[in-house]
Structure 1
Amino acid sequence: MSKTLYLMRHGETLFNQLHLIQGWSDSPLTKRGQAQARIAGEYFLKQGIRFDAAYSSTQERASDTLERVVPGLSYQRLKGLKEWNFGRFEAQPEFLNPKPPYGDFFKYAGGESQSEVEERLFETLSELMAVCSERSKVLAVSHGGALTCFTRATGNQLSRGLKNCCILQFHYADGQFTLENVINHDFNPLEEDN
């Protein structure tokens, strides 16, 4: 028997719009980010996907996204789902990022190493999937850097960065995560004012 994890990135934020590095610092969802979350929620509804459990990073941009994807669903906020801590690079212009892989680069700036983020995410998601009943469908909302690290830790590689509200669908069985699908949604700018 298996379980399914829908691992999702938060909607667009003010820092995303301004091209600022956003790790443990936070910024609010933009109108576009709110609309992206609603579009993701519509996807789950159209697919008939109902969640048995839901989790979010403790950061506001992630919990605000989850609340728009599945309004009224109770969920748990977990520190283990937080974004990468970029240390002194927090809230700095994105052009200061080195080329990946980052390795220990951010650890020397007072943040986390790539391996620390991989381990944190893998441990957190493994623990929550292990306690779910068979055939469970689980939603977890996290962050771009953290999701990329987790995907790498599962032995999968993403060909490009994760768009806001991108959904990674993983099959979970016998302690192993297998990436089954990467779901990106087209954003209709006309919905921004709704």
Structure 2
Amino acid sequence: MSEDPIRCGWRGMQGDALYEAYHDTEWGVPEYDPRALWEKLVLDGFQAGLAWITILRKREAFRAAFDDFDPEKVARYGEADRARLMADAGIVRSNAKIDAAISGARIYLDMREKGEDFSKFLWAFTDGKPIQNDFAEIAQVPAQTPVAVEMSKALKAKGFKFVGPVIVYAFMQATGLVNDHLVSCHRHAPVRAMGA
């Protein structure tokens, strides 16, 4: 019987198959697809005030409720869609967060219409490559950084909501804009290699 690999010491992850799979296959992997980046930014916005595992467990319900995060469809949502989403027990029901997702889709499309690629916009903050950290302990991992503050300000200036520096830094970690896997974690070196 093989031993479990060494992972980052996130509270509540050990023994949770969904959480471990997310950590082992997705978190920290550099994401360049603009639509996927927008989806993750929306989900991180919905996480505000909640544990990430809550959102992770509801992610498929979110995808179903938000038309697989197709910005073209979400941007056209009206009052009936808002009511449908607020009645959907499978997602986090918050008027402010739902409104932020809808307006965020419109901003995303407006950027695209003006020739501004959402992925290039985000990756410009890290000069197009992941920031590589070498933290030994969870306590060393910051909640936000100057780069996250800068990205947060730029997103807010475009009109995005639920994009404070702490949310933005969690988004950066999730999408591989930064590699915050601990050096002892079995994913640190493979994720670092992806950003080379």
Is TM more than 0.5 here?
Answer: no
Specify which structure has the higher proportion of strand: 1
**Structure label with greater radius of gyration:** 2
Specify which structure has the higher proportion of helix: 2
TM-score (normalizing by structure 2): 0.28
